[in-house]
Structures are given as C-alpha cells and as structure tokens.
Structure 1
C-alpha cells in the first residue's frame, strides 16, 4: 500500500520541478508574458556601414526601444532576408553568446546584422529587397526595406553570408 502514495508523491514533485523551469532554454525564445513584443517596442534600422563592393563586409545596426511595461529579450533576434518568393533566415554570429536583457519602459537595446556583399546579378547572391525582424517569444514580424546591395551566398542564394549579433544594452 505504501508504493502508491510514494509514487504519487514522486510524480507530483517531478511535475512541480518541471513547472519551475520557465522554458527559457529554447533557441527560439519562450512564449511567456514578459517577452518583448513588436507592438510594445519600436524597431529602428540605423545608418548602416554599407559594404561598397562584392566581397566587402557591411554592418546594419537595429535598435529596439521599449514603450510598454518591463519586458525581456532572451536568445537572438529572428532576422529573415527576402526577395520575391525566396527567403533566408540568418544565423547567430559564430561565437556570439545570447544574454537575457530586461528592458524597462524607455530602455533600449540593439543588435547588428553583419553581411558580405555579393556580386550584382550573381545567381549565388541574394538580391534581398526586404528585411523581416521578429523578437524571441513573439511571432509578429516587422518589415523594413533592404537597401544595402546583394548578399553573397554560401553555396546558394538561400544561404546568405550574413549573421546577427546578440542583443546588447543601449543608451546610458
């Protein structure tokens, strides 16, 4: 008779520990109430350091300012480059480590898109026209025009030679 109460107690304890996890370990961000949302923040694509010629590296800064209650940025931003029906999701920069940032109302953060410029008209380059950004834990995307030239492909135009940095605290 004692086996059943001990088993029930063990299962209940395991469930309690699982519930305390918070779910922040996934690569795409957790779906929690504290995640920063596109509707509660403003995104701005800043003045870029444009790659002038094929093979050169360029950087495009993106800033995020919170206009609502305190929210959290964890993991990496979602960035997709698109042209017509072709889209490519950018990977995190090699060696970059995600950090969790809490943004109070008025606080800002930033990340950088780094890319290698491709040759104009090259089938292996992605001549992107649109940049779509999502925040971890939010599926809503905000679109911006891509005005920085074609992105060199890594074997194919759907694998652009571009990446995103981790979020960094911005401002004071």
Structure 2
C-alpha cells in the first residue's frame, strides 16, 4: 500500500511539474530591442502633393534608426490618418520579417490609399497627419501632404492599407 501511495505522489508531482513548465513561456532568443529612436520621412511613391487623382495611390515612408545601437522592426506599423484629431485607421497587411537595423540604417513601408478629388460623393477625410505606431509602442507623426482620402475604415475590402516594413 505504501508503494502505491509513493507511485501516486510521484505521478501527481510529475503532472504538476509538466503543467507548470507548459505555462512558463520559453525565453526569446537574444536580439536587438524594438526600435524606439527612429526618424520618418516621405520617400516617393505614386502620390502627388495635393492629391485629387481619384485613384489608389502609394506613399513610401523611410524609417531610419536614429539611435546609437541596433534595433528591430516587425510587421506593418499601425497608421492612423487624423483630421481634427479624428482618426481613420488603415488596415495592416499581414506578414513581414524581423528587420534588424544598425545605427543609421533604413527600412521602408508603403501607405496605400484611395485619393479623392471630392467630386464623386464619397465620404472623404482631409488628413492633417499620419500617426505611425511601431510594434514595441514607438509613435511618430508625419505631416500628410497627399490631399483628401476616401474613408475606408468600415469597408469589407479596404483600399487604404499599410505594408509590412522591408
């Protein structure tokens, strides 16, 4: 009887250790921390200042590590176009690889949007800023210069979206 009791205790202890170890996440591989010191700049694309093309346009954004040590970026940043503080949140495309940036190195992402001349009766926004939030919580702001944008936040297949950082 004593032997059966010891076996039962060992089984119970083993189950407890298994459940505890399953609940503790594995330690992440060491690598650069998320980028917190970055600068942003418009860097091309099909969009023209002032906008109004009534087409889908692109605006390329360059991200520069302005810190003094390596950092990393992952996926598509969150981008909100704001008008008088009211945001239009753009969809984020999935995917993207971890980008490690040495000090001074750059990466890029694309904002794709439906430019609007205001003649088509669409619900439009007149963005003042693009508020960009990277994984890790770093927030940066760019002055929007590409004109009016067709509101797409509630669309089932939005025409306004952000690509992953490359």
Cα distance, 1:136–1:85 mapped onto 2, change above 3 Å: same
- What is aligned with 1:154? 152
Indicate conservation of the 8 Å contact 1:151/1:160, yes or no: no
> Relative to 1, partners in 2 of residues 1:86 and 1:123: Cα closer, same or farther, differing over 3 Å?
farther
User: What is the CA–CA distance in structure 2 between the aligned matches of 1:144 and 1:71, rounded to whole Å?
Assistant: 21
| 1:118 Cα offset (Å) | 1.5
1:5 aligns to what?
Answer: 13
Task: Say if 2:73 is the partner of 1:73.
Answer: yes
Kindly indicate whether the alpha-carbon contact (under 8 Å) linking 1:125 and 1:160 is maintained by their aligned counterparts in 2. no
Further displaced range: 70-79 or 112-121: 112-121
**Aligned residue for 2:126?**
127
Structure 1 residue ranges, 4+ long, deviating more than 6 angstroms after superposition: none
For the residues of structure 2 that align with 1:92 and 1:135, how far apart are their CA atoms? 12
Calculate the aligned-residue CA RMSD, in Å: 2.7
Tell me the residue number matched to 1:107.
105
Once the two structures are superposed, residues 19-69 of structure 1 have per-residue CA deviations (whole angstroms, 9 ceiling, x without a partner) of 33x4xxxxxxxxx971111xx122112245325544222211111111331
Please report the TM-score for the alignment, with normalisation by the length of structure 2. 0.76
Partner of 2:23: 15
Which 5+ residue runs of structure 2 have no aligned equivalent?
Answer: 1-8
Structure 1 stretch displaced more, 3-12 or 108-117? 3-12
TM-score under structure 1 normalisation?
0.74
1:101-127 deviation line (CA, Å, top 9, x unaligned): 111222210011111112337560111
> Per the alignment, in what secondary structure is the counterpart of residue 19 of structure 1?
coil
Which blocks of at least 5 consecutive residues in structure 1 are unaligned?
23-31
How far apart are the structure 2 equivalents of 1:98 and 1:33? 17
Question: In terms of Rg, which structure is larger?
Answer: 2
Number of aligned positions between the proteins = 151
Shift of 1:156: 6.4
1:44 equivalent among 21, 28, 41: 41
1:61 corresponds to:
60
